[in-house]
Amino acid sequence: MDAANKVISNLKDENLVPAKPVIRHGEKVSLIKKENLRSSVEDINKKIKYLKNKGYKTFAIICKTLEECKTVFNSIKNEDYNPYIITGKEKEYRTGVIVVPSYLSKGLEFDVVFISDGSKEKYTTAELDVKLLYVAMTRPLHKLYIYYNSELSSLLEGVQ
């Protein structure tokens, strides 16, 4: 939550009150640089399998756009953990491993969240980008991994 509050502080809103984090002890946010989205997804696959064996039950791979979600989902849909994509047209919600755009993730919580691309091209200092990244960063209960492929978004500077 502290990391997400650093992101939202980029909005110059006098009425903005930072969220108060629930006291939980755990690892800090992990920022992970990979060559491209494909190598990020390969690493996410490995982490999901490892963390499932450690007892974590709910996972989200959060992308900025539905288009990116579809690319990620097509890369993992044959995995043995039976991933699910949320497009906004679902009549019911399943748990487990889901791929979801950040704008549809508000109100959902997961044990572990992977943000597929926190690069500066994806998340600029524009108000909408700040809010989308903030929402994505506040979805995990225990672990947050943020991947980036080129240069890290300036919104994420100093979050570790």
28 part of a folded domain: no
**Residues 74-105: tens digit of each pLDDT:** 999 988 899 999 999 998 888 899 999 999 99
| Encoded tokens for 114 | 């992977």
| pLDDT value for 95 | 87
| Total domains, the chain | 1
97 part of a folded domain: yes
Residue ranges making up the domain that contains 63: 2-8+40-142
Residue linked to tokens 């994806």:
122
15 part of a folded domain: no
Average pLDDT, stretch 135-156?
94
- 145 and 44 in contact (C-beta within 8 Å)? yes
125 CB neighbour count, 10 Å cutoff: 12
22 part of a folded domain: no
67 part of a folded domain: yes
pLDDT band at residue 155 using 50, 70 and 90 as cut-offs: very high
32 part of a folded domain: no
155 part of a folded domain: no
pTM for the predicted model, two decimal places:
0.85
d(CA 22, CA 127): 25
Which CATH number is 91's domain given? Answer: 3.40.50.300
